[in-house]
Each structure stands twice: as C-alpha cells, then as structure tokens.
Amino acid sequence: MRFQDIVVAGYFQVPCMAETTKLHRDFVDVLLSLTGTDKLSNSDMIAVLWEMIFRGTDTVAVLIEWILARMVMHPDVQSRVHIELDKVVGKSRALAESDLTEMVYLHAVVKEVLRLHPPGPLLSWSRLAITDSTVDGYHVPKGTTAMVNMWAIMRDPDVWVDPLEFKPERFMTMNEGEHVDVCGFGSDLRLAPFGSGRRACPGKTLGLTTVTFWVAFLLHEFEFRPCNERRVDLSEVLKLSCEMVNPLSIRVRPRRSSVC
C-alpha cells in the first residue's frame, strides 16, 4: 500500500456498530448528522469529502513522496538538510514544530519541489468567465471555461533560470542579480501552487506546514537511499493529484540511536 493510501484510509476508518457509542464519530458521521439550516445535500457532502481527500490528504502525501524522491536523487541536497537539522535540533532530541522557524534551506527545498512537482498542476480545476474579458491581449468570451496551468508557469524558461534543474539555492541566493524571495502563497505568480486571490486554497498554510514538519521529522530521523541502486523514475501521471507513475521505493537508514 502506498503512503497516500494509508493516509486517506485513516480518515475513513469506520468503527464497528457495537463500539460507535464509545468512540468519536468520524467526519462522515458529522456531515450526516447536520440538521436544519446546517443540513447538507448529498451533492454538497460529496463536494466536501472530495475536497478533504483531494486537498486535505492526497496532495500532502503526494508532495511528501516527491520531496523524498528528490532527496534520494540529490544526496548532496539531503546531506545539506541533515546538516541544518543537526545544527538546529541536534541528535539528542526529537524535532519540535518550533524548530521549523529556524530553518532556511529546508524551506527552499520544499519550494523547489513545489515548483517542479505541484500536486495540483491546474489551479482549482477551472474558471468560468462571467463577462467578456481580455487577458494578455486575448479575447475571452463570456461563458468560456479556462484553466490556469501553473505547472507550465513554474517551468517557464522566460520566468526561471534553468527551469528543469533542481536547485533549492535559487530561493536563497542572488539569481542573475536578483534575489529570488518568493513566499509561494500566491502573492508572486511565478510560484503559486496554491492559487492566488480570493479563491486560493484555504488550507495552504496548514498544508505546507504539515508537509514541511513531516519532511523535517523524517529527514531528522532517517537517511534515504536508492533501493537496490534503482534509478528514481520522475514520470508523472495526473489522477486526483499529479503523482509518480511508479511508487517510490527506497532504503531507509536510522540517523539517531534513539530511533525504534
């Protein structure tokens, strides 16, 4: 079972009927129990559950898999993250969420993976033009459905230097005389994997914090290596999210003696 399958399954684990009175209700139970003005139609409940799976679990798991794949492919980058973690956290204790504020290179790594492998390459699926509009000189008639291809924008050679190269340093250093300081939350459209404006992903801060924390935790505790010297395949397939065609297979070595 893939990592993201485990995550999704955990959200929808239904207890047996004999134990329902003793256990907390799951998310579906809550939706079904709503009454009055709060009651949701079946289509609304499906939409909420879709968003929870697609935006709340699948994208997080997929992004973590892409980051670990890049760590295996680029051991020099992984080593630099290890050095930063050992400097900030040390090896005598576990990572704390507050440690993330002191890390710089790790955040640059996450941004670079988001740039090359956005889980949602087409922002919010689509937009409907409600009036005749002009976008970059092109006439967009009323009723047109448009999709923003952020995957292409974040690999555009007119926007990025060496766009297909994995270079976390691009978010830390001077790049052709310009310091690349991009927050990734939509204020700079060069890197807007969560969308921008009023319809940007509402869970972007939580999602990015969750991914960064779990990646930091895993890299603090373990070193990731290729499996049987097999090359990591970066081929993509668009399902709920933009996933790896072949699930990541890697070898793991503990870095701290306290790891069970």
pLDDT, one tens digit per residue, over 38-58 is 888 888 888 777 777 666 678
The Cα 145–Cα 132 span in angstroms is 12
- Mean pLDDT computed over 14-43: 72
Non-local CB neighbours of 147 within 8 Å, separated by 6+ positions? 122, 123, 125, 126, 127
- Sorting pLDDT into bands at 50, 70 and 90, what band is 256? confident
Q: What is the CA radius of gyration of the chain?
A: 21
| The pLDDT of residue 159 is above 80 | yes
pLDDT, one tens digit per residue, over 69-87 is 999 999 999 999 999 999 9
Cβ count within 10 A of residue 173: 11
| The pLDDT of residue 9 is above 80 | no
Q: Beta strand 138-140 with 178-179: parallel, antiparallel or unpaired?
A: unpaired
The Cα 246–Cα 145 span in angstroms is 32
User: Quick one: which H or E segment has residue 127?
Assistant: strand 122-128
- Map tokens 């069970």 to a residue: 260
Q: From residue 208, give the alpha-carbon distance in Å to each of 43, 149, 245.
A: 28, 20, 23
Cβ count within 10 A of residue 194: 24
State the distance between the two ends of the chain, measured CA to CA, in whole angstroms: 22
Residues 77, 227 contacting (CB under 8 angstroms) = no
User: What's the pTM value of the predicted model, to 2 decimals?
Assistant: 0.76
DSSP state of 122: E
The residues that bridge with 128 in the sheet, in sequence order, are 145
Residues 231, 205 contacting (CB under 8 angstroms) = no
On average, the pLDDT of the chain sits at 82
- Mean pLDDT computed over 168-194: 73
Give the residue, 159 or 7, on which the prediction is more confident: 159
pLDDT score at 20: 44
pLDDT, one tens digit per residue, over 134-151 is 988 999 999 998 888 989
Give the residue, 222 or 198, on which the prediction is more confident: 222
The Cα 45–Cα 52 span in angstroms is 11
| Max Cα-Cα span within the chain | 66
Spatial CA neighbour of 118 closest among 79, 148, 82: 148
Query: How far is residue 120 CA from its own chain's centroid?
Result: 9
Q: What structural domains and CATH numbers belong to the chain?
A: 3-254 (1.10.630.10)
| The pLDDT of residue 253 is above 80 | yes
